[in-house]
Structure 1
Amino acid sequence: MSAASLIAREEWRVLTRNRAGLIASALLVVLILVASFTSLERCSAIEADRERYQTSADETFDAQPDRHPHRMVHYGQFVFRPIAPLAFFDAGVDSFTGNTVFLEGHRQNSANFAEARQSSLLLRFGQLTPAFVLQTLAPLLIIFLAFASVAREKENATLKLMLAQGVSGRSVIAGKLLGHGAIALGVGVPAFAVLIAFAATGAAEWASVALMVLGYASWLLLWAALGVVVSALVAKPRDALAILIGLWMVIVILLPRALPEAASAQSQLATKIETEIALHRDLLEIGDSHDPDDPYFNDFRDRVLARYGVETVEDLPVQYAGLVSIEGERLTTQIYADAANRQIARESDQNAFVHAFSVVSPLIAIRQLSMALAGSDPAAHYDFLEHAETFRYNFVQRLNRMQAELLPGIKGDDPRISAAYWQQIPRFAYTPVDPLARPGSLVWPFLVLLGWLAALTVLAIVAARRIGRAAR
């Protein structure tokens, strides 16, 4: 057996006699399991509620009596976003972005009923999910287990005895890294087992689960390596502990909370009132179909008459108001789409600013990677909004075409068409986006984590050489 393996086994033996460490490790394992099952149960309940509400909204829409099609345009529909399979592991931004959109004519509504607004303020400090435990609490446990790994040998003078017996500094560092790396992976085993079991049931893709496990394994190994390297570079265990706690506070607590504020100051988002005012101004510029002197709709009317070869709107084989509704919806949809794209671009700039600092705080990298694989990142939310808006536009325009094509044959002051027509309108169906379809969101976080591991490997080599020189 190699010297590194013997040192790793001795490190495990020492840790088994550390009662506080064993209790803390057991508590963390229990916390991961509790977080996994409670989060899974919570997501299942939420998904069941959303399916029930979606079914109820669809049935209510189908139950509407014979109406004028434009009344159904304003009656609208509610659509609910389904939860991605792995969102139970990392809720990401789902609790803050809203999950319900009301679809109606002439406007593009935002998602509403965000869970953070319906729950207590404690939710804003982070939900108890397996991702939260692994990202925030697991590094703290690894620090307490690893901070004295090499410094303890220095303080007790056992390091000199090992070196005097021919053990090299490289073997010492390799053994400590092997021992604490295995412990770090052991901390993550309960969460990894839950992920693998979830994939085995067919509820999640194996590729996404494998990448999730690989990402968190890298994150935990990073902290094990950091603990051993710092312990090897300082003289006393208490110094190593102080440095590691300071690094944990900066990497895990300070930077991830300070950087979004800096990004917000650098690229401010428009408030809801400012957005509404800008939209109202843009809508006024497209013209007023009710104004007989409006240049745009006068020109539109002339084009319609020329296309059908008639002299007046009364001679049209279709209802002119329905054609105006179709054209107006096309114009307003483009205005709302441009405003939404500008908002998304600003939010993306803020996120890019924060992600650029992941080289300083790898928590940002693992968080980005975790949310992307769980389907709970901003990109997944934007994808849902895009599908909802596409459905809304097709839904409204279908009703507008009914108005234009069906009403001319119906007499009376209150023309209505059969309810059978909107019962035939397709219902909203959304499948959460495949994380692997967006590899760009996965490559950079992996590169950051691997970069940190590579840098710590270099520091470990430097520490091993220092130990070797001390033996001469």
Structure 2
Amino acid sequence: MSAVALIARDELRLMRRNRVAVIAFALLVLLTLAAVVSSWSHQRAVAELRARHQHAAEQAFDAQPDRHPHRVVHYGNFIFRPLGPLAAFDSGVDAFTGNSMFLEGHRQNTANFGDVRQSSLLVRFGQLTPAFVLQVVAPLLLIFLGFGALARERERGTLRLLMLQGVGRGQLVAGKLAALGLVALAAAAPALLGLIGIAMQPGALALPMLVIAIGYVGYLALWVLVILLVSALVRRSRDALLALVAIWAVTAILLPRVAPDIASAAVPLQNRLATDVAIGRDLRQLGDSHNPDDPHFAAFKQSVLDRYGVTHVEDLPVNYKGVIAVEGERLTSALFDRYAAQSHAAQARQNAIVDAAGLFSPAIALRSLSMAAAGTDFAAHRRFLEQAEAYRYDLVQRLNRMQAQGVTYADDTATDAGADRRKRVDADNWQEMPDFTFVAPGGGVLAAAALPGLAVVLLWLGVAAGLLAFATRRLGASR
């Protein structure tokens, strides 16, 4: 048996003799299994609940009686954001951004009913997911198992003895790395098995899952290297433990928590109330379609009359109230899109600041990688908002055109007893309206979005490997 294998076997035997370490490892495995099962169960329950509510909303919309199209514009419709299978591994921002939207004319609503706002404070702390366990808990276990791997040999005086027996520095470090690496793989095995189970679900994408697996294996390998590096640099095991716990606390707990606050302070977002006030002010500046002297709508009215070659709206072959509703929705939607784009741009700058912090914290880079590949990051939420707005605009404009073509101007402006009935269109029209269908990105898109985070993790891994190689050459030298 080679020297590397003997050293690895001896290190594993030493770990097995440590009852605290064995119990901690068993608890980590059980915690990971619980995270896999609970997260998968939660994701399935949420997906089924949203699908059920979406079906009920579509049925309610289709079941409307004969109505005036503009009443249907204000009746609106609910849509729900679907979840992909990988959300069971990393739920990302889904619990915080909201999962449903009410679509109506003249308004661009935000997503509502996030889990954080309707659940206990435990959800605010963070849902137990395999991603959370591997990002935060697993490195801490590896620290307590491996902090003394090399420092202990120096303290006991066995380091020089091993070298005198012909064990090279590289062999010693390689053996310790192999032992701790096997423990890291065993700790990650339940989560990776859960990822394989997710791969068997409908809609699962192989490429993003491969990127996730590479990212998490690389992240745990990074911690193995850092643990051996610190253990090689310090003289006492106690000092190695203190240094490693400090590194873990800063990189895995403190920086991921502080970075978003720094980003929010650097790029402040306008709150919803201020945005609504600004939109209301700009809407007044767009013009008033009910004011015959309004410059914009007066010019628009004249352009419609010129297009059809008539002098009065009563002579138009279409209902002018429907035509002007189409124009009004076009103007207001363009304004809503402008404010939404400003908000999205600010949030993108915030996320860029947080991603830059990944250069100081591999946990941030891994979290970015994980959410991007799972389709649960801000980009995925923005994708839902944009598709929802496109569907809302198309739905409202279909109804406005239905008013213009299906209801006469004379009936629409009449006030006699039977006028209300004449203004209505057949209820079959509601069933012909297309339902909302979220178009999920392909595996290549998700994997590409995760590559920057993966690059940072691999960069950290390369730097740690280089530093450990340098420390290995100096191992055992008198200081």
Task: Answer yes or no: same fold by TM over 0.5.
Answer: yes
Residues 374, 435 of structure 1: 8 Å contact kept: no
Indicate yes or no: 2:473 matched with 1:462. Answer: no
Separation in 2, partners of 1:201, 1:44: 11
Match for residue 419 of structure 2 among 399, 403, 413: 413
**1:422 maps to amino acid:** W
Cα separation, partners in 2 of 1:435 and 1:274, compared to 1, 3 Å: farther
- CA-CA distance at 1:346 after TM superposition: 0.5
Task: Name the structure 1 match of 2:154.
Answer: 154
Runs in 1 of length 4+ with deviation above 4 angstroms? 409-412
Separation in 1, partners of 2:54, 2:408: 34
Q: What is the number of equivalent residue pairs in this alignment?
A: 471
Cα separation, partners in 2 of 1:213 and 1:40, compared to 1, 3 Å: same
Task: Name the structure 1 match of 2:359.
Answer: 359
Task: Name the structure 1 match of 2:415.
Answer: none
Separation in 2, partners of 1:206, 1:427: 29
- CA-CA distance at 1:413 after TM superposition: 2.1
Cα separation, partners in 2 of 1:184 and 1:70, compared to 1, 3 Å: same
User: RMSD in angstroms over aligned alpha carbons?
Assistant: 1.4
Separation in 2, partners of 1:119, 1:328: 39
Separation in 2, partners of 1:257, 1:127: 16
Task: Name the structure 1 match of 2:414.
Answer: none
Task: Name the structure 1 match of 2:225.
Answer: 225
- Written as runs of structure 1 = structure 2, the 5 A alignment for 1:172-251 is 172-251=172-251
Cα separation, partners in 2 of 1:106 and 1:126, compared to 1, 3 Å: same
Separation in 2, partners of 1:432, 1:113: 21
Task: Name the structure 1 match of 2:143.
Answer: 143
Describe the SS at the equivalent of 1:4. Answer: helix
Separation in 2, partners of 1:15, 1:221: 18
- CA-CA distance at 1:408 after TM superposition: 1.6
**1:413 maps to amino acid:** A
- CA-CA distance at 1:436 after TM superposition: 2.7
- CA-CA distance at 1:409 after TM superposition: 8.3
- Written as runs of structure 1 = structure 2, the 5 A alignment for 1:333-344 is 333-344=333-344
Describe the SS at the equivalent of 1:467. Answer: coil
Indicate yes or no: 2:300 matched with 1:300. Answer: yes
Separation in 2, partners of 1:440, 1:279: 36
Separation in 2, partners of 1:68, 1:226: 68
Percent identity among equivalent residues?
50
- CA-CA distance at 1:132 after TM superposition: 0.8
Q: Deviations over 1:109-152 (max 9, x none)?
A: 00001110001122121111111111111110010011010011
Residues 383, 433 of structure 1: 8 Å contact kept: no
Q: Deviations over 1:324-361 (max 9, x none)?
A: 00000011000000100100101111110111010101
Residues 69, 417 of structure 1: 8 Å contact kept: yes
Describe the SS at the equivalent of 1:90. Answer: coil
Task: Name the structure 2 match of 1:441.
Answer: 449
Separation in 1, partners of 2:439, 2:137: 33
Q: Deviations over 1:288-313 (max 9, x none)?
A: 00001000000000110111111110
Residues 79, 100 of structure 1: 8 Å contact kept: yes
TM-score norm. by structure 1 comes to 0.97
- CA-CA distance at 1:469 after TM superposition: 3.8
- Written as runs of structure 1 = structure 2, the 5 A alignment for 1:71-82 is 71-82=71-82
Separation in 2, partners of 1:90, 1:198: 12
- CA-CA distance at 1:468 after TM superposition: 5.4
TM-score norm. by structure 2 comes to 0.96
